[in-house]
Chains A and B, each alone.
Chain A
């Protein structure tokens, strides 16, 4: 398998704190790669670096071999790297369809179009509605986003990302705050997406991680402790000591 996204010696310092400290990783095309680790390990910062929301202090990011280290978020989105946020980041006063609409509209070559009504763009509509369907919110099409449950807003967050038709999905705790039923739905969505996309996933729900991930990276204190298949990670003594601890006993058959 070829790697689609590579990071080399990537660092991000906030003041004196190295949130991400010389991380080197390969993300392979078509794989589900989960990043786990305790709070403050630098997982979200790493995603923020990949999506362009933060500028790295040092190191390089390559997408399909091309350097995207200094590109702004909108350029990275246009290259086909979509992201969802850990803290719900939607347009609260708009309906679900309108939220996905704007996301879908970002794939027009330009939105500097001033005269034809937005509703007349059928390709945008169909992309937005497909995204709603995929994230399971077709029934909530015209509901104002702020009036939905937290879990549904999380689903919408994923829907918006899908409406931009990305190749690589950066998912920052997609299951956070979801009820069991919603979570099950999203996990099965992730499985479906995994067949045709590259997923980079941060998640605290270990059952979900081991259910979908093909590769795992364990981060501690901004550094990579270990990368490997789920079995390798389960077997790793270092990981066991540093992070998984008790949980591991339950997970190992």
Chain B
């Protein structure tokens, strides 16, 4: 345990986590709601980082799974009352996983620019499907009047309509998704993904059917992306085609790049940075997108490992400084 605390990066993450856990006690309710949205974005961005940062698959259609699961929640929620989470969640996750299986089956056999284009094309197909579908509200979107109920029989376990409860529900989800991805990446499966990312041809020559591993990674990422969509739809109470457009896919990718590719937690930090920067730039000027673009260019050029890389470098600097100081103290 003391080794965990000896690493400044871990200290930073634990402090950030403690602040997140305490936030509903002192934060204004508007900001509590905003942080919920950011944490959901963080979950979505972590799932994309599994593809970009750990499998080497740059997906430009990741919002598809996010939006699809959100729409599925809207579809299974009746207008007269809440849907049970035990029914809604499997439908949303299953739908996202199935979509990822189909899209992945076609796309992961390609690479580079072709992979980017195929994932984008599939996401756009889904976008237009929901955009043109008047039953589902077309471009205006569709309301979800009731948040899913979490109950066994008549006994209510959680009230997702309660802001504080939902905040912690999302925070715990964030932690569990992070832990799940870490476990997967440390397991033999994760070792194969790392091999694929560094040198796919060699991984194949060693006897791995890389297609199957890339597809599995794509399905896992899509399912987690779907979980984020389920949370977003629950939080928002409305789903519209914008949630699966290419703008959305692009902004998730920017979050991953901003936070630091291939770090997982960087994706969450990136989500915070993205939303707060956007907020700040919007206050400064109506042409805030220009500033945002400039900032992303700055990060790509000067911080190739993103904010997470910056934190890690600073952490290494501190560790060295501390060890030098203690060397001096030694006789």
B210 touches A105 (CB 8 A): no
B191 and A111 contacting across the interface, CB-CB below 8 Å = yes
Contacting pair A93 B206 (CB below 8 A): no
Our pick among A51, A117, A124 for the contact of B205 (Cβ within 8 Å) is A51
Contact of B189 with A113 in the complex, beta carbons under 8 Å: yes
> Does A160 sit within 8 A of B, measured CB to CB?
yes
On chain A, the residues within 8 Å of B331 by CB distance are none
Considering the chains assembled together, what is the distance between the CA atoms of A111 and B195 in angstroms? Answer: 12
Q: Is the CB of B195 within 8 A of A102?
A: yes
In the complex the two chains form, is B186's CB within 8 Å of A117's CB? yes
- Given the known interface contacts A72-B204, A102-B203, A160-B206, the answer about A111 and B213 at a Cβ–Cβ threshold of 8 Å is yes
Q: Give the distance to chain B from A123, nearest Cβ to Cβ, in Å.
A: 12
Q: Is the interface of A mostly helix, strand, loop or mixed?
A: loop
Instruction: Give Cα distance in the complex from A75 to B207, angstroms.
Output: 6
Chain B residue with Cβ nearest A92:
B198
The segment from A83-91, A147-155, A188-196 that touches chain B is: A83-91
A107 in the interface (beta carbon within 8 A): yes
B188 at the interface (CB under 8 A from A): yes
Q: Are A74 and B188 in contact (CB under 8 A)?
A: no
Contact A78–B207 (Cβ < 8 Å)? yes
A118 and B206 in contact (CB under 8 A), knowing A92-B198, A102-B191, A112-B212?
Answer: no
Q: Is A14 an interface residue (CB 8 A)?
A: no
* Cβ–Cβ < 8 Å partners of A94 in chain B: 194, 198
Bound Cα distance from A107 to B206, whole angstroms: 9
Kindly state the separation between the CA atoms of A113 and B193 in the bound complex, as whole angstroms.
12
Instruction: Decide yes or no whether A116 CB sits under 8 A from chain B.
Output: yes
In the assembled complex, the CB of B54 is this many whole angstroms from the nearest CB of chain A, namely 13
Interface flag for B7 (CB, 8 Å): no
CA distance A53 to B205 in the complex (A): 8
Query: How far is A164 from B202 in the complex, measured between Cα atoms in Å?
Result: 12
Is the C-beta of B288 less than 8 angstroms from some C-beta in chain A?
A: no
A112-B189 in contact (CB<8A): yes
A89 near B206: Cβ-Cβ < 8 Å: no
Q: Mark B190-226, 1 if CB is under 8 A from A, else 0.
A: 1110110011011111111110110010000000000
* A113 and B204 contact, CB distance less than 8 A: no
Chain B residues contacting A75 (CB-CB under 8 Å) are 209
> Are A118's CB and B202's CB within 8 A?
no
**Known: A114-B183, A115-B183. Contact between A73 and B188, CB under 8 A?**
no
Q: Is B322 an interface residue (CB 8 A)?
A: no
How many Å from the CB of B67 to the closest CB on chain A?
Answer: 26
- Give 4 nearest A-B pairs by CB, closest first: A77-B207, A106-B207, A111-B188, A113-B188
* CB-defined contacts of B201 to chain A, threshold 8 Å: 53, 89
B209 touches A118 (CB 8 A): no
CB of A240 to closest CB in B, whole Å: 36
| Nearest chain B residue, comparing its CB with the CB of A77 | B207
Residues of A within 8 A of B184 (CB): 114-115
Q: Are B207 and A112 in contact (CB under 8 A)?
A: no
From A93, A102, A116, residue with most partner B Cβ within 10 Å: A102
A101 sits at the interface (CB 8 A): yes
With beta carbons under 8 angstroms apart, the residue of A93, A114, A118, A164 that contacts B207 is: A164
Q: Does A108 contact B (CB under 8 A)?
A: yes
Task: Write the nearest CB–CB distance from A119 to chain B, whole angstroms.
Answer: 8
Residues of A within 8 A of B205 (CB): 51, 53, 73-74, 77, 83, 85, 89
* Distance of A37 Cα from B202 Cα, bound (Å): 26
A103 part of interface (Cβ distance < 8 Å): yes
Q: Which of B199, B208, B216 contacts A74 (CB 8 A)?
A: B208
A115 to B187, CA, bound (A): 6
Question: In the complex, which of the residues B199, B204, B208 contacts A111, with contact meaning CB atoms closer than 8 Å?
Answer: B208
